[in-house]
Amino acid sequence: MFQLIENGSVTSVQGFKAAGIFCGIKKRKKDLALIFSEEACTVAGTFTLNKVKAAPLIISQNVIKLGKKAKAVLVNSGNANACTGETGYDDALKMQRWCAEKLNILPAEVLISSTGVIGQKLPVEKIESGLNEIIPQLSTDGGLEAAEAIMTTDTKIKSLAVKINLKKGEISIGGIAKGSGMIMPNMATMLGFISTDASVEKNLLQETLREAVNSSFNKISVDGETSTNDMVVLMANGLSGISIDKDSEDYLEFLSALKFITTEMAKSIVSDGEGATKLVTINVKGAKTKDDADLVGKSIANSSLVKTAIHGADANWGRILSAAGQSGADFDPANVSISFNNLPILLPNYTLTLDEELASAILSQKEFEINIDLGSGKQETTWWTCDLTEEYVKINADYRT
């Protein structure tokens, strides 16, 4: 069992310090975050599948691939350092090297990440001077400031932590994330940085993170766009002295707490989606295969027609069924049933039980569930999406004009 820690963040975990400051990349708001663990951490990471990858992402990916332990994560917002060619790669290396020098650790122990405008040169000298300022501010309660400094168009800080009581003792997991919709002038980027004091072997840590990310960050859609800078990093410093082994009960506790952290973060990204006013959970059941369940969940989560209908609180079940139908999943439409929360809308054989008023009342809420049972098998999954609003269009059409 695990308990939520009040005002939790990456620094709710012993041994982790953090800070967030303004260094001059944005106009006014905080734009530089540093997370630091004196104890070297085993690190796992998942990265964007976009063919266009930002320089800092490639560098962080290498740190993890090389199997090195890491001690720091340096993140700037306001500039993604993406599509910036060799200059951008060089700037990212500088960012990593300067951070290492000033912390007196190795460059290979520093992960770096950037988020913001793409295609513009990173003002890397501002990060150099910013480092002189941020390092003295590192503190064991700086997690929320770091969470603030990685925000771009986010309207809310995304941060939480849990304590897990195992027979051997107590461990913690904490995390901060960002992601909302678009970044000036660019794309939906999501970042997540998670800390734990458990001791976990590298391959197991990677496998666990992958599983948690697959059931959370990889099941959300604000607008179907994959960023050039997406990354989620999990750092384990082992300071609790408790080691988590595969095939143990503790592992299941650890995994379930990590999934809770990543799922809450993922949901907070969707509900803070640009222009979004509603958070919708899409439960897919009765699919022949896991892939089919995902195809259907993803297609509904990405459908502009479903998302505009949700915005208008219009119980437009035909759009949901059609989105499922165009997903590529194998099922017989006549077997499908649909409900909103516990209210049945459509039963098999196209039997309509829709009560427009009750349905619209549910869709008017800020959070609700769309349940679709394909009636074709036993596989299931859950996705999350938000509504598509005029505000979304406005934000993204008029951002630079």
User: Which positions are catalytic?
Assistant: 189
Site residues for a second copy, 350-369, by CB under 8 A, read 350-352, 360
| 240 is a contact residue toward a second copy (CB under 8 A) | no
4 is a contact residue toward a second copy (CB under 8 A): no
User: Between 192 and 273, whose beta carbon lies closer to a second copy?
Assistant: 273
Using CB under 8 A as the binding rule, whether residue 90 contacts a second copy is answered as no
Q: Which is nearer to a second copy, 51 or 65 (CB)?
A: 51
* Dihedral pair phi/psi, residue 213, rounded to 5°: -65, -40
Q: Where are the beta strands (DSSP E) in 179-254?
A: 191-196, 220-221, 231-236
CB of 278 to a second copy, least distance (A): 11
The least distance separating a second copy from the CB of residue 54, rounded to whole angstroms, comes to 10
Q: Which is nearer to a second copy, 330 or 380 (CB)?
A: 330
Q: Is 7 helix (H, G, I), strand (E, B) or coil?
A: coil
**Residues numbered 68-87 forming contacts with a second copy, rule: CB under 8 A:** 82-86
Contact region with a second copy (CB under 8 A), list: 164-172, 202-210, 259-267, 305-313: 305-313
Q: Single out the residue of 379, 352, 132, 180 nearest to residue 276, CA to CA.
A: 180
Of 24, 107, 123, 325, the one binding a second copy (CB under 8 A) is 325
By CB under 8 A, how many residues form the interface with a second copy? Answer: 67
What is the spatial distance between Cα 196 and Cα 215, in angstroms, rounded to a whole number? 19
Residues 377, 383: Cα–Cα separation, whole Å: 18
Rounded (5°) CA angle 287-292-294: 105
Residue 82 C-beta: closest distance to a second copy, Å: 7
Q: How far is CA 397 from CA 151, 187, 275, in A?
A: 21, 12, 12
Closest to a second copy by CB, 37 vs 79, is 79
**Binding of residue 383 to a second copy (CB under 8 A):** no
Binding to a second copy in span 108-127, by CB under 8 A: 117-119
Calpha distance 147→195 (Å, rounded): 13
Choose, by CB under 8 A, the member of 43, 99, 257, 309 that binds a second copy: 309
User: What string marks each residue from 122 to 161 as x (binds a second copy by CB under 8 A) or -?
Assistant: ----------------------------------------
- Report the amino acid identity of residue 323: A
Cis peptide before 185 (omega within 30 of 0): yes
Can you say whether residue 81 is alpha, beta or left, with left for phi > 0 and alpha for psi between -120 and 50 degrees? left
Q: Which is nearer to a second copy, 201 or 314 (CB)?
A: 314
DSSP per-residue string spanning 246-288: TTSHHHHHHHHHHHHHHHHHHHHHHHTSTT---EEEEEEEEES
In the complex, the residues that contact a second copy under the rule CB under 8 A are: 49-52, 82-86, 88, 117-119, 182, 185-188, 223-228, 302-305, 308-309, 311-314, 316-319, 321-327, 329-331, 333-334, 349-352, 360, 388-390, 392-394, 396-401
